[in-house]
Amino acid sequence: MTRKNLSFAPRLLCLLLLLALLPGCATMNVVSDGADSQLMLRGNDPVAYHTQGKAVPGDPQIKALHDGYVYRFASEEHRSMFTAAPQRYVPAYGGFCASGAPYALKANIGANTFKIVDGRLYLFGSPRSRRHWEMDQQQNIALGDRYWEQETKDRPFRPQNWYRYIFRVPHYKTDAELETEWQRRHGKPDTPPVKAPAG
């Protein structure tokens, strides 16, 4: 190997590392869909969570821009409600999973599992993560808010998560530990009924 090749290797390694980090440069949980490259809530209508109690896909033709991010709406009425008071409808923690927020993690998730607490929209990766978060809901909100403001809000999600998986917060609990605690408090989770054989 020549001396020229040896000096090129560290630069190539840095370039590859930079390219690996680029997809994780988002500070908010956004997707790209059609002309909307900074689409929040996977295209769901942020107002519908509050008014209809469910995730409702927004119309790509009815949208608004807020803080550089695109929100879609199921109706013009919902768009008007949003533009009149956007902070009422934007999701907590940039749309990342609320159950990761108390651990200073930014879990990139969908937007169909949610809960509204005191008028604020919280998203979850699954019903299981929501029920784990609900065990200590107020404490999780307080910790999530603190980490969001002091550490995670402006950091890209991938480097933030790498950092916090290596240097965990003192109160970190694994999914298995949370599930054990949930079962201790509430018993086994509901299981679907066994279907009777046909015939």
State how far Cα 31 lies from the chain centre.
12
pLDDT digits (tens, 9 = 90+) for 119-165: 999 999 999 999 999 999 999 999 999 999 999 999 999 999 999 99
Whether residue 104 has pLDDT greater than 90 = yes
69's tokens: 């991010």
Over residues 4-43, the pLDDT tens digits come to 555 656 665 554 454 455 454 688 999 999 999 999 999 9
**Tokens 């046909």, located at residue:** 198
Buried b (16+ CB within 10 A) or exposed e, 133-154: bbeeeeebbebbeebbeeebee
Stretch 189-199: mean pLDDT = 51
Mean pLDDT of 168-175: 95
pTM of the predicted model as reported, rounded to 2 decimal places: 0.82
67-to-28, 50, 70, 94, 107 alpha-carbon distances in Å: 11, 21, 9, 11, 21
pLDDT digits (tens, 9 = 90+) for 45-68: 999 999 999 999 999 999 999 999
Q: Tell me the average pLDDT of the chain.
A: 88
